[in-house]
């Protein structure tokens, strides 16, 4: 149907005949000569319609609406010198049309314009309802291409490293813990249900038991939880697993993979190896396990300095086992007024949203004089004051913000304020600046955390992570040592977002059973839910481990987008609905009967 792509034509093809196909980007009808910008995937070229070339041709051209699909036959010619368009890569030439075929018309007024020249914002609701039109626009076209390049690069890299891609089931069984499952009723097995996988976790481990040694998959995962700008009910992981690899070796390989992606997709050389922070250090210094290290304002514990103060908010917090931590806002005296950090102010409110009761502050004035509320000033002696200024490295003009109370809440509040202030004060470098890609490995996670509601242990990552050998000691002490053990787990954090995570897995069936018991499963439950895994581990399972990267998030960051919806061809809304197909939808009574399912939803008439 066509000889060339619109955007590929250049002056050296002048006087050759071409056939082009594409969409009408826009028309300029001068009454005599008519110009059509014809657009296809490769770009745009100007088609010129000369009235001398026939009435029929001219009449057709006059009637064209934007986004009409055309085939053009014509000849490439140079534009008059004064008409060269330098903004267009094909701007030196044009195609003199000898024939126009309308391949498809546009029958109604378009809900929004496709042309790149119309950069008016479009409501996301409309974009999603007519996603096919949105995909035709430059932004989404580029994002999907970038996504493809990311996945392509990963595939090439992993193939070079002797990984093979294996598909794992989408219809599988529901497993305890973790997110809510999407369920699929079985027609054949009455009353029983499949679950869609939250990740291929168990299957990839069993592939290792199967001796594949190096597996990867671009895997669709499903979690029936509430959505966010970086969470969709179905999302894509680049899933890897390998045998006979240490944590260091796995990390090294994956850094190379990430560096390769950044190099191929963005042309950016990342510096390897990535820095590494233990989970404990991350919590101490940033209050979160996914710190954004593009800016400072680290959290500083001042427990030792303030524990004996008369100011009960501080000393009391420590007496009851909590902490007092602070961040130093450089030049904060100028940038943050008292109105903003006192009750009702935006900064105070941020702290409150994270559960903090208040937000104490100290302003450093000339000659290290301090300016704060009376209760703090009165109870702070000179030595404490000096220690505090030294520890926080606060200088004249700086503002120190304090969190006091339960360590967990202090961390959460200061983390939140830190991120909020970084945005407010413009401390985050331009995302296209090479220095702004701050990768960071977080390691040595705790195996478990306490579920407050149910007063029991829960796996922090998942219950298949291997514990640190030194932490658990000999077999007889496993039960006693496991709750405090660290896991051989690692997350890759980029600019405050978790983009991947993994671990070495347990390959010893006894230890695996012990971990299951720690999270409250009894022998029967272990046998019922995970019998197949335990059995597999007893038949020669190799030491193995792996990682999974969130492709949607990685592409989002590479594309500079703020939502993963802009990296997914057909995403769902926050209500997990597809506005284009209107899924999910009601099905017939017959379909339900076949599946042995009854609808308990009360319909309103």
Partner RNA sequence: GGGACCGUAGUUCAACUGGUUAGAGCACCGCCCUGUCACGGCGGAAGUUGCGGGUUCGAAUCCCGUCGGUCCCGCCA
List residues near RNA by CB under 7 A: 26, 28-33, 35, 37, 46, 48, 50-52, 65-66, 79-80, 82-85, 87-88, 91, 94, 109-113, 117-118, 120-126, 128, 177-180, 198-199, 201, 223, 225-231, 353, 458-463, 563, 565, 573-575, 577, 579
Backbone angles phi, psi at 220, to 5 degrees: -80, 135
Neighbouring C-alpha atoms within 13 Å toward the C-beta of 209: 21
Q: Is 107 helix (H, G, I), strand (E, B) or coil?
A: coil
The distance of closest approach from Cβ of residue 118 to RNA in the complex, given in angstroms and rounded to an integer, is 6
84/313 with CB nearer RNA: 84
Assess contact for 93 and 11: CB atoms under 8 A: yes
**Residue 558: count of CB within 10 angstroms of its CB:** 22
- Whether omega for the bond prior to residue 161 falls within 30 degrees of 0, making it cis, is no
The distance of closest approach from Cβ of residue 185 to RNA in the complex, given in angstroms and rounded to an integer, is 22
Angle at 280 between CA 275 and CA 282, to 5 degrees: 45
The distance of closest approach from Cβ of residue 180 to RNA in the complex, given in angstroms and rounded to an integer, is 7
44/247 with CB nearer RNA: 44
440/459 with CB nearer RNA: 459
Burial of residue 254 (CB within 10 Å: 0-12, 13-18, 19+) is buried
- Residue 288 CA to residue 265 CA, distance in Å, equals 29
201/328 with CB nearer RNA: 201
Encoded tokens for 487: 């896991």
Assess contact for 487 and 461: CB atoms under 8 A: yes
The distance of closest approach from Cβ of residue 56 to RNA in the complex, given in angstroms and rounded to an integer, is 16
268/428 with CB nearer RNA: 428
The distance of closest approach from Cβ of residue 295 to RNA in the complex, given in angstroms and rounded to an integer, is 19
Q: Which residues pair with 234 in a beta bridge?
A: 222
DSSP code for 405: E
- Whether omega for the bond prior to residue 434 falls within 30 degrees of 0, making it cis, is no
201/247 with CB nearer RNA: 201
Encoded tokens for 210: 């199967």
The distance of closest approach from Cβ of residue 105 to RNA in the complex, given in angstroms and rounded to an integer, is 10
- Residue 340 CA to residue 355 CA, distance in Å, equals 18
The distance of closest approach from Cβ of residue 39 to RNA in the complex, given in angstroms and rounded to an integer, is 12
The distance of closest approach from Cβ of residue 226 to RNA in the complex, given in angstroms and rounded to an integer, is 3
The distance of closest approach from Cβ of residue 124 to RNA in the complex, given in angstroms and rounded to an integer, is 5
Residues in the chain: 605
Backbone angles phi, psi at 77, to 5 degrees: -140, 160
179/189 with CB nearer RNA: 179
End-to-end alpha carbon distance in the chain: 53
157/516 with CB nearer RNA: 516
332/502 with CB nearer RNA: 502
21/202 with CB nearer RNA: 202
Backbone angles phi, psi at 334, to 5 degrees: -85, -45
Run of H or E including 490? strand 489-494
The distance of closest approach from Cβ of residue 270 to RNA in the complex, given in angstroms and rounded to an integer, is 26
Q: Which of 419, 424, 267, 217 is nearest to 337 (CA)?
A: 424
Assess contact for 543 and 119: CB atoms under 8 A: no
């Amino acid at each position: 149907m066509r000889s060339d792509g619109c955007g590929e034509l250049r002056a050296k093809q002048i006087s050759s005949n071409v056939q082009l196909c594409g969409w009408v980007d826009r028309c300029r009808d001068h009454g005599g000569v008519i110009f059509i910008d014809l657009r296809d995937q490769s770009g745009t070229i100007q088609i010129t319609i000369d009235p001398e070339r026939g009435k029929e041709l001219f009449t057709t051209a006059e009637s064209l609406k934007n986004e009409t699909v055309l085939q053009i036959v014509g000849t490439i010619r140079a534009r008059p010198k004064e008409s060269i368009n330098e903004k267009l890569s094909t701007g030196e030439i044009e195609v003199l049309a000898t024939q126009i075929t309308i391949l498809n018309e546009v029958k109604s007024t378009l809900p929004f314009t496709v042309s790149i020249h119309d950069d008016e914002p479009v409501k996301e609701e409309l974009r999603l309802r007519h996603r096919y039109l949105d995909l035709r626009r430059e932004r989404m076209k580029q994002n999907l291409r970038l996504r493809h390049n990311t996945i392509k690069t990963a595939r090439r890299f992993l193939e070079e490293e002797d990984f093979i891609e294996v598909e794992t089931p989408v219809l599988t069984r529901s497993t305890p813990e973790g997110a809510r499952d999407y369920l699929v009723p079985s027609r054949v097995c009455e009353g029983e249900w499949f679950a869609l996988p939250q990740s291929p976790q168990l299957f990839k481990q069993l592939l290792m038991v199967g001796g594949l040694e190096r597996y990867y998959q671009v895997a669709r995962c499903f979690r029936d939880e509430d959505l966010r700008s970086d969470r969709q009910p179905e999302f894509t992981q680049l899933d890897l697993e390998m045998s006979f690899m240490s944590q260091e070796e796995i990390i090294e390989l994956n850094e190379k993979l990430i560096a390769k992606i950044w190099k191929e997709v963005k042309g950016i050389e990342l510096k390897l190896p990535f820095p590494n922070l233990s989970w404990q250090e991350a919590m101490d210094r940033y209050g979160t396990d996914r710190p954004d290290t593009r800016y400072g304002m680290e959290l500083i514990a001042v427990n030792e300095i303030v524990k004996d103060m008369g100011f009960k908010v501080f000393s009391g917090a420590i007496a009851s086992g909590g902490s007092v931590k602070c961040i130093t806002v450089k030049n904060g005296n100028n940038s943050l007024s008292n109105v903003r950090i006192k009750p009702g102010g935006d900064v105070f409110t941020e702290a409150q949203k994270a559960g903090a009761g208040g937000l104490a502050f100290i302003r450093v004035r000339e000659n290290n004089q301090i300016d704060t509320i009376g209760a703090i000033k009165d109870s702070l002696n000179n030595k404490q004051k000096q220690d505090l200024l030294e520890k926080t490295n606060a200088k004249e003009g700086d503002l120190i913000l304090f969190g006091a109370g339960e360590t967990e809440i202090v961390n959460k509040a200061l983390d939140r304020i830190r991120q909020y202030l970084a945005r407010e004060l413009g401390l985050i470098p331009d995302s296209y600046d090479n220095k702004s890609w701050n990768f960071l490995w977080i390691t040595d996670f705790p195996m478990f955390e306490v579920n407050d509601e149910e007063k029991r242990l829960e796996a922090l990552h998942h219950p298949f992570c291997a514990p640190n050998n030194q932490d658990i000691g000999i077999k007889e002490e496993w039960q006693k040592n496991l709750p405090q053990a660290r896991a051989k787990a690692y997350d890759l954090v980029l600019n405050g977002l978790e983009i991947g995570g993994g671990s070495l897995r347990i390959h010893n069936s006894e230890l695996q059973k012990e971990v299951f018991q720690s999270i409250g499963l009894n022998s029967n439950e272990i046998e019922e839910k995970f019998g197949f895994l335990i059995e597999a581990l007893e038949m020669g399972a190799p030491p193995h481990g792996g990682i999974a990267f969130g492709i949607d998030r990685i592409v989002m960051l590479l594309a500079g987008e703020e939502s993963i919806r802009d990296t997914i061809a057909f995403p769902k809304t926050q209500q997990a609905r597809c506005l284009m197909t209107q899924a999910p939808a009601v099905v017939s009574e017959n379909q339900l009967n076949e599946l042995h399912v009854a609808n308990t939803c009360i319909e309103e008439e």
